[in-house]
Amino acid sequence: MTATKVVGPKGETRTVPEAVARHVWVAAGGRCTICNRYLLADNVTGQEVSIGQLAHIVGWSTAPGSPRGDHELPVEQRNSAENLMLLCHDQHRVIDHKSLWEVFDVDTLRALKRSHEERIRKLTGLGHEKRTTVLRVAGNIHGRPVELNSSSVTTALLANNRFPDWILRGADEFEIDLRAIPGEPTSSPAYWAAARSHLEDRLMHLCTQVRKEAVNHVSVFALARIPVLVLLGTYLDKMLQVDIYPKRREGKTVWGFDDLGAPVRFSSELLRAGNDPSRVAILCSISGSIDINRLPSEVLDSHTIYELRPTATLPTPELITTQAGLDQFSQAWRTLLSTIEVDHPGAPAIPIFPAVPPAAAIAIGRHLLRAAQPPLHIYDREPNSPGYFFTISTEA
């Protein structure tokens, strides 16, 4: 059928004005209103061919066999753009099948048309400056795989008025895929070494694209072990524009910050002064509390210890749910690092014990000035034990 033909439930056709047909095709972006299939090419052969159909919401006649034809809409208005939707052949058959008329009633189809056309208008209205390079980091979290697909990323970006550029995607499903690295459940030293090597190898591609000015904005979707995310943050230079999208707890495929949330502030406190001012450690009690008495003896016996925590509430996994909350955490972290620079000059390294959400872990790495500040020695919880062990250093 040509682009100006509307198709009835029995295959019969009528011609609508070209201006009406063009309006429907353009508003739908050349895609099926229901399944989003691209309708200007054949999926099998790849040949350019129009496979879309103009379908009626309210049937074109009041006859008994006309789908939704008993609606009050006047017959002379039923070939208008407002009453036509662009569909693929399969979805057209579905909505016009008599057994599904109650499922696909007039209000439902109008809502589908409105939602699809609003999405197309919003997406096509995004200029080149709204392009963002996607960086997905997927690992196992204590043996559990991470779900992070392209559709959930696109949904999150569009909600933030951006559209994705997949320039970093390689042979793997994700830009940085840590799921196949052995030793994660037992946190073996080999796992942390391999994770670091893989992370650095993949980020070399990002650095190359940044130098070529092919990338100027990055959107990070990351769910992996906290030490890996801290290290990741150190490679995301603060001069580069970066948006971090945390995974929300209420859904497997929901990413991004909430628009509204309770204000939260953070501050640091000196827990214990050590004898050697060059030895200093940090506890980050944000998503949970770090028990100072369970630190390794080499830290507990000799280091000055600071704790970064929320000022007016207890640590919880849901504490940082807004961009403002992450910004407040980042500011408190930078202030603590500046304090250590002044009060503890010459510190060779800073052991850090982070109980933080993934977004905060990335922020810890991003706001560390590796050229001027000591490297972080990142510790994690021992498997099946309340103690802590060294994992990765941010030292270049």
Residues 49-74 pLDDT 10s: 788 899 999 998 888 888 999 999 99
Please tell me the distance from the alpha carbon of residue 291 to that of residue 271, in angstroms, as a whole number: 11
User: Is the pLDDT assigned to residue 81 strictly greater than 80?
Assistant: yes
- Any idea which of 214-223, 232-241, 286-295, 302-311 has the lowest mean pLDDT? 232-241
Q: Model pTM?
A: 0.77
Confidence of residue 310 (pLDDT cuts 50, 70, 90): very high
pLDDT at res. 145: 61
Q: What does the pLDDT read at residue 282?
A: 98
324 to 123, 259, 261, 262, 389: CA distances (angstroms)? 26, 10, 9, 10, 32
Could you read off the pLDDT of 142-152 as tens digits, one per residue?
656 666 788 88
Distance between alpha carbon 241 and the CA centroid of its chain, in Å?
15
State the pLDDT confidence band at 330, using cuts at 50, 70 and 90.
very high
**What digits encode the pLDDT tens for the residues 234-245?**
998 766 899 999
8 Å CB contact between 388 and 283: no
- The predicted-structure confidence for 22-56, as pLDDT tens digits, reads as follows 999 999 999 999 999 998 887 666 677 788 899 99
CA neighbor of 361 nearest in space, from 179, 232, 264: 232
Cβ-in-10-Å burial (0-12, 13-18, 19+) of 192 comes to buried
Mean pLDDT for the stretch of residues 211-233: 92
Say what the pLDDT of residue 269 is: 95
Mean pLDDT for 133-162 is: 82
253 pLDDT more than 60: no
The 3-class SS string of the chain reads CCCCEEECCCCCEEECCHHHHHHHHHHCCCECCCCCCECCCCCCCCCCCCCEEEEECCCCCCCCCCCCCCCCCCHHHCCCHHHEEEEEHHHHHHHHCHHHCCCCCHHHHHHHHHHHHHHHHHHHCCCHHHEEEEEEEECCECCECCCCCHHHHHHHHHHCCCEEECCCCCCCCCCEECCCCCCCCCCCHHHHHHHHHHHHHHHHHHHHHHHCCCCCEEEEEEECCHHHHHHHHHHCCCCCEEEECCECCCCCCCECCCCCCCCCCEEEEEEECCCCCCCEEEEEECCCCCCHHHCCHHHHCCCEEEEEEECCCCCCCCCCCCHHHHHHHHHHHHHHHHHHHHHCCCCCCEEEEEECCHHHHHHHHHCCCCCCCCCEEEEEECCCCCCEEEEEECCC
| pLDDT of res. 2 | 46
pLDDT of residue 155: 86
CA separation for the pair 161, 139 (Å, rounded): 27
- Model confidence at 1: pLDDT above 50: no
pLDDT averaged over the chain? 89
Confidence at residue 246, expressed as pLDDT on a 0 to 100 scale: 92
Mention every residue, 6+ apart, whose C-beta is less than 8 A from residue 296. 379, 387, 388, 389, 390
CB atoms within 10 A of CB 369: 13
Q: For the residues 120-132, what does the mean pLDDT come to?
A: 83
Percent of the chain residues topping a pLDDT of 90: 56
Strand partners, 267: 309
Average pLDDT in the 110-116 region? 94
State the pLDDT at residue 46. Answer: 64
Whether pLDDT at 385 is above 90: no
